[in-house]
Structure 1
Amino acid sequence: MGIRGQKTEDGRQMLACRAAARIAGMRGTAATKLPPSDRGFTLIELVVVIIIVVVVMGLFLNRALYYQEQAEKVAMEEVAGAVQSALTMQYGRILVRGNPSDAAALVRDNPMNWLQKPPHNYAGEFYAPTPLAVDSGNWVFDLKSRELLYVPRNAGHFKPGKDGEKWIRFHVAMSYEAPRAPSLQNASPELTGVLFEPVEPYMWF
């Protein structure tokens, strides 16, 4: 074989080596390609995840506010119940002293004075306050109307009374009954008790 034939053979071998290297490189690239499960989030997938997280957080926040408002209502009712118990004790002491007529003074008294310790959210006495003048979540005593007022902090499920104001007004009411004896039918009604009750009906839940 001559020199020219040897060069031709060498050229063919070089071309074959280059082709083999090129094929091997293509195989290596295909082998290192990541499967779909190993790739990161696409933009659409990321947006969907964000929307789901926002919806879940919104639902959780709504439920948290709901239970928080319920807890506030229960706390308010506990204070009202404590005042009613203290009022009953005051009325009982008046009866023990034998002066039922003194019970009329309870109507103008500040019910918080009957408690051993006022609640932490009792803000004191005010003259003719408005709901905006009282911090929400507090009790106040109105020196003009002689009523105990509560202004809700969480009022998403609260419907006020006829006055349309966002508060609950309590007062001391005297309970009377007509005499049961036939001979006393024309007599004045008898005082039978005292109640601590809302001035106007309201709805809370």
Structure 2
Amino acid sequence: MKYRVHLDLATTSAAHQAELVARLMDLGATPADVGQGDVPWTVLADPEGNVFCVLEPREIYRDTGPIAAVVVDCADPRAMARFWGEAMDWTLHEVTDDHAVLRSAKGVGPYLEFLRTPVKTVWNRVHLDLKPYPGDDQAAEGGPAGGSRCHRRRRRPGRCVLAVPRRPRGQRVLRPLPGLTKSRSKTV
């Protein structure tokens, strides 16, 4: 089964790719077929069935660290790039009707990529938690680029209370509420 969000892992050489695939399989990953056909990357599933790719070496991902990209299937890559670019203050590197690529304005970490795919009704097994840069105004109300206000608040065990706004396609985005200093937002 292919989910709407998956990780692409970076490698530095063909040998590194082969070693990483072998190590991941030793840890419990299994080969996965999502209809990819004959491609230079390897598609695997983690022990819970979450699909991810181990990419062949690509120059664009040479400085991302182990996670090359978080890849999101969507109906409208341009709209998603516009929303997430403003939501995270990330730089748009490429956009077409079929895909969009964003990365931190600081040029560090993985890319966020949106790929046009038919609308799916599967549950999203991955979500993004946003954490503002130091000094950013966490108290700003409303959402950027057409996002709506928070639709509810919830308490997560051992974590602060979070505001849960919706982005244009209706998926949740978790962010700390203003004035809270305890935040363990995940970075992807």
Q: Taking structure 1 as the reference length, what is the TM-score of the superposition?
A: 0.20
Q: Which has the higher strand share?
A: 2
More helix by share: 1
Higher relative contact order (CA 8 A, sep 6+): 2
Q: Which has the larger radius of gyration?
A: 1
TM-score, normalising length: structure 2 = 0.22
